[in-house]
Amino acid sequence: MLEATPLGEGWILRTPGSTAAALPAEVPGCVHTDLMAAGVIPDPFLGRNETEVAWVGRRDWTYERDLSVPSGHEQTDLVFDGLDTVAEVMLDGRPLGRVRNMHRSHRFDVTGLSGRLTVRFVSAYAEAEAIRGKLGERPAAYAEPFQYVRKMACSFGWDWGPTLVTAGIWRPVRLEHWSTARIARVRPLVTVEEGLGRVELAVDVERTRVEAPLAVEATVGGVRARASLDGTQAVVRLEVPSPRLWWPRGYEEQPLHDVELTLLHGDEPLDVWRRRIGFRSVELDRSADAHGTGFTLVVNGERLFARGVNWIPDDVFPSRVTRARYRERLGQAADAGVDLVRVWGGGIYESEDFYDACDELGLLVWQDFPFACAAYPEEQPLRGEVEAEARENVVRLMPHPSLVLWNGNNENLWGFRDWDWEGRLAGESWGEGYYLGVLPRVVAELDPTRPYTAGSPWSGGWERHPNDPAHGTHHSWEVWNREDYAEYRANVPRFMAEFGWQAPPAYATLRRALPDEELAADSPGMLHHQKADDGNGKLRRGLERHFAFPEGDFDRWHYLTQVNQARAVATGIEHWRSHWPVCAGTVLWQLNDCWPVTSWAAIDGDGREKPLCHELRRLYADRLLTLQVREPGLVLAAVNQAAEVWAGAVRLRRMSVEGVVIGETSASVLAERRSVALVGVPRELEPAGPKEFLVADADGLRALHFPAPDREIPYPRPEFEVEIVPGGVRVTAGTLVRDLLLQADRLDPAARADRGLVTLLPGEQVTIGVRGWETPDPETARSALYCVEPSR
């Protein structure tokens, strides 16, 4: 039987040519984390330390340990699940092989060998610059040479990430001892047809004895099947009658089934492969219609409005992301109503722990291949590496029912057309052959059960602009970069795959990251932790369209920028959801951060939820009430993504900001399952000018419409009472209180609130649950409460 020996212990780290003593190394890990643990470098997340450790990425590094290979098996393999990135592997000075791809595993035959195991890493900069010199310059959105090496692109920095170019043994390493044969690959095709679940397991084995008769036996759902090997391959087919279907969260349950496949020599088991699968069907409807070309996910025959977020690596040092951390972060997404997570192309193929959590939580996964925001050469040595990594990872991730879409790249097809690449390339390769050739061919061959799309954004063909909102996927960045977020309402894309608005992280996160700094919007540390081009300028201009800018008041700036982020995203999602089924999904940029930074994230780099994260719970709930401006006037949209009909009464009130009801009526609302119902607002209830607003209430849901920006609204001075109640804080409003927010981390860095922004009418009250606050008192609670105030 195959036996595995982990090799996580006993490693040391050296830098070639240095007389410094070797340091203990943690495997899996990376050079930066080892240097931090040894006190050689400071934490690059704090202050402006990032610049002080830039030298680390320019050095070569060597990992070493003793290796003893026991006898008793016909073959022993040294297996690295991940090496970051360019390295030579040697045993007692004997070369075992050279590697140049972070996204692949590597296997070396070390049968009968022992001695000093050395993994010598070359700087990823040196590799990238050498490849650029060989193949020529290619344009990119950033100056760093990330497109010339098969490595996590955002290691080289991004408009939300630090430049920390890593090296190391970033995934587990082990010895595998085996005799006769081992399982080299299992490719599971899982389908459902007419109530019958089918599992086809295509098996490849590696042999030491060619003549040995072998068989494979598989079980799933109480069904067993067996097949003999034809040389090194076999196919086992199983049929499971009436399997329980796996569904996205918010629809039905997520049953998972254990699959076990055993490689046999006679009755002797040689190797075992185990996974969990789910029975479900998935399609991507890209049909043409009167509105253009659709992009609608269909799971088990049910057409979905995808409630999505974009995922980046949760740490710039990804070896630090544990199974528990994946579960926490993805659990936060699920709690916010998310049902789709897009794994963005500037990162990595995530670990099994990520996809396991998505399987269990019912989060659909849209998986990018790792290409982003650059022209990628298609010549060797990159081309062979791209195909090898695609083949390995497509098969590795196939068992997961959560995985529903393969995507060729992020923004590269768009970049070729709009970012002045075509002329600069002058006919050189730039990646099109990957996205329209290699990758769809690999997916079609290995995983025909899932759809593939060439890129995001992509309109389906070069006869249209790649980012045409009427066709396929669309990215909206003009709004954040140049316009007011009200412009989100200017069009109805078929699928909004990227859009977002920035805000700083939580106050406690900033205090930890900038411990010695007097915080200001433009203080040195704040500017260092703002990586977007003119990011603070865009934050200011976006704020000034709605509020008087709080000059010199950091706390007010911090609160208002977070309000503006939540309001901007709400404007887009409410508009696009109200246009279902023309628009079939929104994927917020972005869910998470990889360090403490001002960014578009809903959850900051320390894992704290911004107000936006709480707002997503409302925006992505099965039922959403929203007031929209349509021709000829205001309408109430009742968005019902639930399986049941939504029938009820809605109360409409036209009010003054002083709290006086000017007009009121009730109306019936009837929204069929998975549909949107529109109810016209009577003309006499439409607010007249900035002193009035409209309130709609139905079944515990509320929608508000203020016809003017806040800076023009004559709000009363907010008055409210605060009291401590078991488990939280109760606030009772004496006036209109707009966008009340309890910043729980100002009470205690460990404290968390159970809700974000809430607007109270005079006389209304809300109880905000708080956990992690050891010494509650009303005055401290009041000091952490913020709301919109009259313009000064």
Active site residue ranges? 411
C-alpha to C-alpha distance for 478 and 228, rounded to whole angstroms? 59
Q: How many CB atoms lie within 10 A of CB 266?
A: 10
C-alpha to C-alpha distance for 584 and 472, rounded to whole angstroms? 10
Q: Which two tokens stand for residue 124?
A: 């990823």
Question: Residue 787 half-sphere exposure, CB side, CA atoms within 13 Å?
Answer: 22
b or e along 781-790 (b: 16 or more beta carbons within 10 Å of the residue's beta carbon)? beebbbbbbe
Q: Which of 321, 305, 394, 351 is nearest to 592 (CA)?
A: 321
C-alpha to C-alpha distance for 318 and 314, rounded to whole angstroms? 7
Beta strand pairing status for 75-80 and 106-109? antiparallel
C-alpha to C-alpha distance for 239 and 224, rounded to whole angstroms? 9
Please give the radius of gyration of the chain, using alpha carbons only, rounded to the nearest integer. 28
* Cα-based torsion angle of the residue sequence 381, 111, 264, 224 in order, rounded to the nearest 10 degrees: -50
Q: Which of 344, 741, 340, 712 is nearest to 503 (CA)?
A: 741
Report the Cα 381 to chain-centroid distance in Å: 29
Sheet arrangement for strand 106-109: 3-6, 173-178, 75-80, 106-109
DSSP 3-state assignment of 37?
Answer: helix
C-alpha to C-alpha distance for 788 and 717, rounded to whole angstroms? 9
C-alpha to C-alpha distance for 284 and 443, rounded to whole angstroms? 15
Assess contact for 297 and 306: CB atoms under 8 A. yes
DSSP tag of 212 = -
DSSP H or E run through 202: strand 196-207
Assess contact for 384 and 442: CB atoms under 8 A. no
b or e along 247-258 (b: 16 or more beta carbons within 10 Å of the residue's beta carbon)? bbbbbeebbbbe
Three-state secondary structure of 501-524: CCECCCHHHHHHHCCCCCCCCCCH
Identify the sign of the CA torsion 672, 333, 788, 491: negative
Q: Which of 283, 295, 299, 286 is nearest to 496 (CA)?
A: 295
Q: Label residue 242 left, alpha or beta by phi (over 0 means left) and psi (-120 to 50 means alpha).
A: left
**Diameter of the chain by CA atoms?**
90
Q: How many CB atoms lie within 10 A of CB 4?
A: 13
DSSP H or E run through 358: helix 352-361
Q: Which two tokens stand for residue 300?
A: 């088990």
